[in-house]
């Protein structure tokens, strides 16, 4: 039986776990939806020793800039018999590209995600089996522009030329699964259509037959520091490597398909 152990079973990893369990996999993990205590070293080491696949979706600690999984389990990960090891990173490691395309060969470490960049590099250096999967903005059921429009929290920001990439959570799960049989390395898992956040909000409004929120400046929008950081960077994320080397196929190649699928309850 294939056994996946996940450090950090949050939103994305839980979708992956659900999909694999439906295929007959045994999945264990730490975190909100997990069954193993991260701090229980004996249980963690035992799980790693019995796993055929290992995934971490745990972000680095911002205060110390260290990866908690590597800090506690690096030696056990290297010694584990797993044939696949994965880490969910972020396309934030590329920093601001002023709207240009970035791919896996682009420079990293020039943006605000210094701790994430270091963790990304540390996972790459850990072992020859490691697949680093860099993710842009994640959306899916319960976490999309549809929810923000419904609850009145959607905003449209007047920033001409601002572009972001995103990916549906189901396509992340598909990318992880595709990488099980693919070569180790770094891969971007983004959809095919980078665009402004305004276009996504407007599409959600159309699907819900609701009026779009007014355009605002950044100052008028009164965004959180995290959201302001989001708007401080501008890039398009290329996904060709994952398609070529992993055979990754997108179920939702753009935000319109993704939002329509969520609304239809697919």
Q: Give per-residue pLDDT as tens, 89-129.
A: 999 999 999 999 999 999 998 877 789 999 999 999 999 99
pLDDT exceeds 80 at position 56: yes
- At 106 the pLDDT is 97
pLDDT exceeds 80 at position 73: yes
Burial of 226 (0-12, 13-18, 19+ CB in 10 A): exposed
pLDDT exceeds 90 at position 21: yes
Taking CA atoms, 250 is separated from 75, 204, 247, 266, in Å, by: 35, 20, 10, 15
Specify the higher pLDDT residue, 63 or 202: 202
- At 230 the pLDDT is 82
Residue 32 confidence class, pLDDT cut points 50, 70, 90: confident
- Classify the C-alpha dihedral 108-187-74-128 as positive or negative: negative
What average pLDDT does the segment 208-234 reach?
Answer: 90
pLDDT exceeds 90 at position 65: no
- At 228 the pLDDT is 84
What average pLDDT does the segment 246-261 reach?
Answer: 98
pLDDT exceeds 90 at position 8: yes
* Span 167-201, pLDDT tens digits: 999 999 999 999 999 999 999 999 999 999 999 99
pTM of the shown model: 0.96
pLDDT exceeds 80 at position 236: yes
Task: Identify whether the C-beta of residue 43 lies closer than 8 Å to the C-beta of residue 37.
Answer: yes
- At 226 the pLDDT is 79
Tell me what the pLDDT averaged over the chain comes to: 95
What average pLDDT does the segment 55-68 reach?
Answer: 91
- At 169 the pLDDT is 98
pLDDT exceeds 90 at position 224: no
Instruction: Kindly report the three-state secondary structure assignment for every residue of the chain.
Output: CCEEEEECCCHHHHHHHHHHHHCCCEEEECCCCCCCCCCCHHHHHHHHHCCCEEEECCCCECCCCECHHHHHHHHHHHHCCCCEEEEEEEHHHHCCCCCCEECCCCCCCCCCCHHHHHHHHHHHHHCCCEEEEEECEEEECCECHHHHHHCCCCCEECCCCCCECEEEHHHHHHHHHHHCCCCCEEEECCCCCCECHHHHHHHHHHHHCCCCCCEECHHHHCCCHHHHHHHCCCCEECCHHHHHHHCCCCCCCCHHHHHHHHHHCC
| Percent of the chain surpassing pLDDT 70 | 100
- At 63 the pLDDT is 78
- At 223 the pLDDT is 86
| Percent of the chain surpassing pLDDT 90 | 85
pLDDT exceeds 80 at position 57: yes
């Amino acid at each position: 039986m294939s056994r996946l152990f996940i450090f950090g079973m949050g939103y994305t990893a839980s979708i992956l776990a659900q999909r694999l369990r439906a295929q007959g996999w045994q999945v264990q993990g730490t975190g909100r939806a997990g069954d193993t205590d991260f701090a229980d070293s004996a249980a963690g080491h035992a799980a790693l020793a019995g796993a055929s696949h290992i995934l971490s979706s745990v972000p680095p600690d911002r205060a110390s800039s260290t990866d908690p999984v590597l800090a506690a389990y690096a030696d056990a990960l290297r010694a584990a018999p797993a044939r696949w090891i994965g880490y969910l990173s972020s396309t934030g490691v590329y920093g601001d590209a002023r709207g240009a395309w970035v791919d896996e060969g682009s420079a990293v470490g020039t943006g605000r995600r210094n701790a994430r960049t270091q963790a990304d590099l540390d996972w790459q250096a850990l072992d020859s089996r490691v697949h680093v999967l860099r993710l842009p903005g994640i959306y899916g059921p319960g976490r999309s522009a549809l929810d923000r429009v419904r609850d009145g929290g959607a905003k449209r920001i007047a920033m001409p030329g601002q572009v972001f990439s995103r990916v549906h959570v189901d396509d992340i799960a598909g990318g992880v699964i595709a990488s099980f049989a693919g070569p180790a390395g770094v891969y971007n898992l983004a959809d095919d259509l980078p665009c402004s956040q305004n276009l996504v909000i407007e599409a959600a409004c159309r699907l819900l037959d609701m009026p779009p929120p007014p355009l605002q400046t950044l100052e008028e929008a009164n965004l959180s520091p995290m959201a302001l950081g989001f708007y401080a960077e501008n890039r398009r994320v290329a996904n060709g490597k994952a398609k070529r080397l992993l055979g990754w196929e997108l179920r939702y190649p753009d935000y319109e398909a993704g939002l329509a699928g969520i609304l239809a309850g697919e």
